[in-house]
Amino acid sequence: MAMLVATPALMLPDVGSDAIQVVVLVAIFAAALTLFEYASSYPGLVEFRDAPPFNRIRFASLFATVFLISLVVRGSTDHSTATHFVEAIGTLIGKSIDFPYSPVRLIVLMLPENATAHDIITLRTAAGMAYLISLLSLAVFLIVLRAFNWPNSHDKFNVWINLPTFDPTTGGDVVARLERDARFNVALGFLLPFITPVLVKAAAGALGSVSLANEQTIIWTISAWAFLPASLFMRGIAMQRVAGMIADQRQRQGAGEAEQALQPV
| Phi and psi angles of residue 24, each rounded to the nearest 5 degrees, phi first | -65, -45
Residue 255 pLDDT > 70, yes or no? Answer: no
Q: Tell me the average pLDDT across 132-142.
A: 94
pLDDT given for residue 89 in this prediction: 92
Residue 14 vs residue 132, higher pLDDT:
132
pLDDT given for residue 211 in this prediction: 66
Taking phi over 0 as left and psi of -120 to 50 as alpha, with beta for the rest, 47 belongs to: beta
Q: Tell me the average pLDDT across 129-154.
A: 89
Q: Summarize pLDDT for 146-188 with one digit per residue, the tens.
A: 898 888 766 678 888 888 888 777 777 888 999 999 999 999 9
Q: Of 60-69, 148-157, 232-241, 245-254, where does mean pLDDT reach its minimum?
A: 148-157
Q: Summarize pLDDT for 108-128 with one digit per residue, the tens.
A: 888 888 888 888 898 999 999
Q: Summarize pLDDT for 12-49 with one digit per residue, the tens.
A: 887 778 888 888 999 999 999 889 888 888 888 888 88
Measured distance CA(208)–CA(214) in Å, rounded:
13
Nearest-5° Cα angle at 142, 3 to 4 = 5
pLDDT given for residue 180 in this prediction: 93
pLDDT given for residue 259 in this prediction: 56
Domain range summary for the chain, segments of one domain joined by +:
51-163+171-250
Residue 130 pLDDT > 60, yes or no? Answer: yes
Q: How many CA atoms lie within 13 A of 201 on its CB side?
A: 14
Measured distance CA(180)–CA(183) in Å, rounded:
5
**Mean pLDDT of all residues belonging to the chain:** 86
Residue 9 vs residue 171, higher pLDDT:
9
pLDDT given for residue 37 in this prediction: 87
The identity of residue 208, as a single letter, is G
pLDDT band at 207 (very low <50, low <70, confident <90, very high): low
pLDDT given for residue 169 in this prediction: 76
Say how many residues make up the chain. 265
Is the separation of the CB atoms in 98 and 105 below 8 Å?
yes
The identity of residue 135, as a single letter, is L
Q: Tell me the average pLDDT across 251-264.
A: 63
